Every structure is written in C-alpha cells, then in structure tokens.
C-alpha cells in the first residue's frame, strides 16, 4: 500500500486508489505540509485536496514527458468534441 506522500509535485502518475478500481491519471499540482492538490483526469478534470496519508493501492507508472505530451494531444483533442456551440433556432 502506498500513500500520496510518495508522489512528486508536477508529475503525472497512473494509479489505482483501491484494489479493483479503474486506473486513473493524476497530476500533483502543489503540496502543503499535510496535503497534495491533485488533478484527476477522467471525462472531466477533478481538482481536489488529498491528505498525504491517504492510501493508494498501486502506483502503476510515473509518466515521462513524451508520454504526457502524447496524452495531452489526445485529451485536448477530445475536449474540442464537447466544446461546440448550439445553433440558435
């Protein structure tokens, strides 16, 4: 079992918070004495504080810069799909 305290600010990780849970991509945005401000990327981006002592079932991978750039291109491309304006009727 791991905790958020092991993660580094500014890095992207693939994690499972609980056994059998889906894999999530997260980014640690900032760190305080006791907490981490984390972005979780799913259909939408969720920004939330996590205690450093909060458990993580598995840290699958720390993503390298090239992988993050490829993911950003895909993720941002898909966001455009949802950002359309409806015609006035």
User: What pLDDT does 76 receive?
Assistant: 84
User: What pLDDT does 2 receive?
Assistant: 96
Rounded CA separation 58/42 (Å):
18
User: What pLDDT does 88 receive?
Assistant: 55
Rounded CA separation 58/45 (Å):
21
How is 9-30 classified by DSSP, letter by letter? TT-EEEEESSTTPPPEEEEEEE
Helices (H), the chain: 65-82
User: What pLDDT does 1 receive?
Assistant: 86
User: Which residue has better confidence, 88 or 49?
Assistant: 49
Q: What is the pTM of this model?
A: 0.82
User: What pLDDT does 49 receive?
Assistant: 98
Rounded CA separation 49/16 (Å):
17
Q: What is the pLDDT of residues 37-81, one digit of tens each?
A: 999 998 889 999 999 999 999 999 999 999 999 999 998 887 655
Structure tokens at 18: 């609980």
Give 6's DSSP letter: G
Structure tokens at 64: 């390298």
In the predicted structure, residue 87 carries a pLDDT above the cut 80 = no
């Amino acid at each position: 079992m791991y905790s958020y305290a092991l993660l580094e600010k500014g890095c992207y990780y693939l994690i499972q918070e609980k056994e059998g849970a889906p894999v999530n991509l997260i980014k640690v945005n900032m760190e305080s004495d006791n907490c981490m401000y984390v972005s979780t990327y799913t259909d939408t981006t969720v920004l939330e504080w996590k205690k450093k002592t909060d458990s993580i079932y598995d840290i699958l991978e720390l993503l390298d810069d090239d992988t993050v750039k490829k993911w950003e291109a895909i993720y941002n491309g898909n966001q455009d799909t949802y950002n359309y304006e409806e015609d006035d009727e």
